[in-house]
Amino acid sequence: MHVDYQSLRFEYRRSPDQSSLQVVRHAVVVVGAGPVGLATAIDLAQSGLRVLLLDDDSSLSTGSRAICFAKRTLEIFDRLGCGDAMVEKGVTWNRGRVFHRDHPVYSFDLLPEGGHERPAFVNLQQYYVEGFLLDRARALPDLEIRWRNKVTAVEPGEAGVGLLVETPEGEYRILADYLIAADGARSPIRRALGLESKGRTFRDRFLIADVRMKADFPAERWFWFDPPFHPNQSVLLHSQPDGVWRIDFQLGWDADPEAERAPERVITRVRALLGENAAFDLEWVSVYTFSCLRMARFRHGRVIFAGDAAHGVSPFGARGANSGVQDAENIAWKLALVLRGEAPATLLDSYDDERVAAADENILNSTRSTDFITPKNEASRAFRDATLDLARDCAFARRLVNSGRLSLPSTYRASPLNTADTDDFAGTMMPGAPALDAPLMREGAPNWLLRRLGGGFVLLHFGEAPPPVPETLPPLRLVNVTPDEDAEGVAARRYDALPGTTYLIRPDQHVCARWRRFDPEAICAALDRAVGRA
């Protein structure tokens, strides 16, 4: 069934909170029904908490915003119960090509190895992503969404956060044990608390056009430096569902954003790329300037910032929404444990430790790409041009060409929740790493490792049979992978596993500890550490 998610309008409904004589208290209030707020609310509600989600608007995202959703994000969406819809609708792609002037210089395959359920990327308009998340959110009885509820004041306190909410029928107050501010790049909550997001703005402008057309370009990411049809600037072409194509034209700092938006002007630029006789319709056009910035800290007592409210990156690398969804899953399990009294509130500080480090990684990557695409001085330009020239016949230079290093999840190497290895291990599945997928067989049918892990703390054990679990161990789910199930040995290879190898995996599917044998005492200690009790 096709739903035009862009045109959906959601009704404002009066809540009993608005007539209550006493200010009503909620365990968690999430502000902002963008991808990050929706993902956070779903994750919390799935773990059995009641969640209130407020949004000032009555519609989903419109126009040209995020399109590239990365493998890890899709795996998170799987856990949130809406990954299949995203992948079915999305355009799957793994390959990127880079051109300089009129010749190809470089191409890359983002997922050169098999054995992953999800592709490196799908392209999907942000309104679909939000739409599928919303469909899932609406199926959760513990999740209440209030549209046209705008948070206008925030009073953080020791015991809770007071909120003033404006609606078409006037204002009302509520209290929250915890407030997740996923209210976007301009974050009114950040401003209300007198906090700042700081960084650099790149002196450049980009025309982002979504064009509907029939075209036989392959589903790949094509990036041109200085092409004949748009000299001295770069162009990016990407395919989206419903025959829509995303075209980014770099314009330079001196371009007039108003004039550039004029349809005649855009059509001329698109024609230059597609040919004089190309038939297409403009879906949406905007002109952007990009920045890389973040807040100094994301947790401020009972107010926690996530997504664009906490950090921003240029889109080259598709790290905005992708990293925001990782914020969401990082905070969700921690907050759920704290609210259920199963972990101390200081566990929430590890959100700061882990996600600030992740934001820095994303900002670093995004800044490097933008420095390549938008040289910031004469020397950057000279080296950029030299790199592109050498890339034609020198393999090393191709590795330097940077049109965007595409979003990968962070490994929380320095996280206080990790237990350091005491046994010898090779490979990438170190404490702090996001668990890798692998193909398994189960009762004769294909099955995927990450699906088996699911949510919650999990012990992943490799062996013929699950180990006997002593009563002293807290009730943990145990996933045992037998050599038969791992017929191709991919899981054992990716986890450097031998019979007896045991991993403790967090609810967000990051590794927190691993051993060569099943050691209940070590597991208890690692679990304590992972919930901030060490």
Partner 1 sequence: MLNTEPNIASPDDFYEALLSIHQGLAPEQSRQVDARLILLLCNHIGDLSVLREAMARARRGIEPDGIDNTIAART
Ligand X SMILES: Cc1cc2nc3c(=O)[nH]c(=O)nc-3n(C[C@H](O)[C@H](O)[C@H](O)COP(=O)(O)OP(=O)(O)OC[C@H]3O[C@@H](n4cnc5c(N)ncnc54)[C@H](O)[C@@H]3O)c2cc1C
Q: Which residues bind partner 1 (CB under 8 A)?
A: 185-186, 190, 196-204, 253, 291-293, 374-379, 382-383, 385-387, 389-390, 394, 396-397, 400
Encoded one letter per residue, x for contact with ligand X by CB under 6 A and - for no contact, window 133-172 reads: -----------------xx---------------------
Decide whether 401 or 491 has the Cβ nearer to partner 1: 401
Q: Tell me how far, at minimum, the Cβ of 29 lies from partner 1, in Å.
A: 23
Q: Tell me how far, at minimum, the Cβ of 365 lies from partner 1, in Å.
A: 16
Total interface residues for ligand X by CB under 6 A: 35
Q: Tell me how far, at minimum, the Cβ of 20 lies from partner 1, in Å.
A: 35
Q: Which residues pair with 504 in a beta bridge?
A: 459, 513
CB–CB of 295/303 below 8 Å? no
Tell me, what DSSP letter sits at residue 394? Answer: -
C-alpha span between 455 and 478 (Å, rounded):
12
Q: Verify binding: residue 366, ligand X, rule CB under 6 A.
A: no
Q: Tell me how far, at minimum, the Cβ of 296 lies from partner 1, in Å.
A: 12
Structure tokens at 205: 């402008």
Q: Verify binding: residue 209, ligand X, rule CB under 6 A.
A: no
Segment near ligand X (CB under 6 A); pick from 22-30, 172-180, 315-323, 498-506: 315-323
Residue 54 near which of partner 1, ligand X, none (CB within 5-8 Å, type-dependent):
ligand X
Interface with ligand X (CB under 6 A), residue from 41, 66, 292, 348:
66
Residue 390 near which of partner 1, ligand X, none (CB within 5-8 Å, type-dependent):
partner 1
Closest CA to 99 of 377, 398, 382, 405: 398
Decide whether 125 or 419 has the Cβ nearer to ligand X: 125
Q: Tell me how far, at minimum, the Cβ of 197 lies from partner 1, in Å.
A: 5
Q: Tell me how far, at minimum, the Cβ of 465 lies from partner 1, in Å.
A: 48
CB–CB of 366/317 below 8 Å? yes
Q: Tell me how far, at minimum, the Cβ of 462 lies from ligand X, in Å.
A: 34
Distance of CA 76 to the CA centre of its chain: 9
Q: Tell me how far, at minimum, the Cβ of 378 lies from partner 1, in Å.
A: 8
The answer for residues whose C-beta is within 8 angstroms of residue 439's C-beta and 6 or more apart is 114, 115, 117, 446, 447, 448, 449, 488, 490, 491
Interface with ligand X (CB under 6 A), residue from 8, 57, 107, 517:
57
Structure tokens at 302: 């009972």
Q: Which residue matches tokens 């965007």?
A: 404
Decide whether 97 or 200 has the Cβ nearer to partner 1: 200
Q: Verify binding: residue 86, ligand X, rule CB under 6 A.
A: no
Q: Verify binding: residue 308, ligand X, rule CB under 6 A.
A: yes
Decide whether 317 or 455 has the Cβ nearer to partner 1: 317
Q: Tell me how far, at minimum, the Cβ of 180 lies from ligand X, in Å.
A: 10
Q: Tell me how far, at minimum, the Cβ of 113 lies from ligand X, in Å.
A: 23
Interface with ligand X (CB under 6 A), residue from 53, 154, 163, 321:
321
Q: Are strands 95-100 and 221-225 parallel, antiparallel or unpaired?
A: parallel
Q: How many CB atoms lie within 10 A of CB 22?
A: 8
Cα end-to-end distance, the chain, whole Å: 50
CB–CB of 317/405 below 8 Å? yes
C-alpha span between 417 and 199 (Å, rounded):
28
The CA angle 403-404-410, to the nearest 5 degrees, is 160
Count Cβ neighbours within 10 Å for each residue of 172-193 and write b for 16 or more, e otherwise: bbbbbbbbbbbbbbebbbbebb
Decide whether 325 or 530 has the Cβ nearer to ligand X: 325
The answer for residues whose C-beta is within 8 angstroms of residue 222's C-beta and 6 or more apart is 96, 97, 99, 236, 237, 238
CB–CB of 36/126 below 8 Å? no
Structure tokens at 45: 């509600």
CB–CB of 322/73 below 8 Å? yes
Interface with ligand X (CB under 6 A), residue from 90, 96, 307, 409:
307
Residue 357 near which of ligand X, partner 1, none (CB within 5-8 Å, type-dependent):
none
Binding site for ligand X (CB under 6 A): 31-37, 54-57, 61, 64-68, 126, 150-151, 182-184, 188, 208, 288, 307-309, 315, 318, 320-322, 324
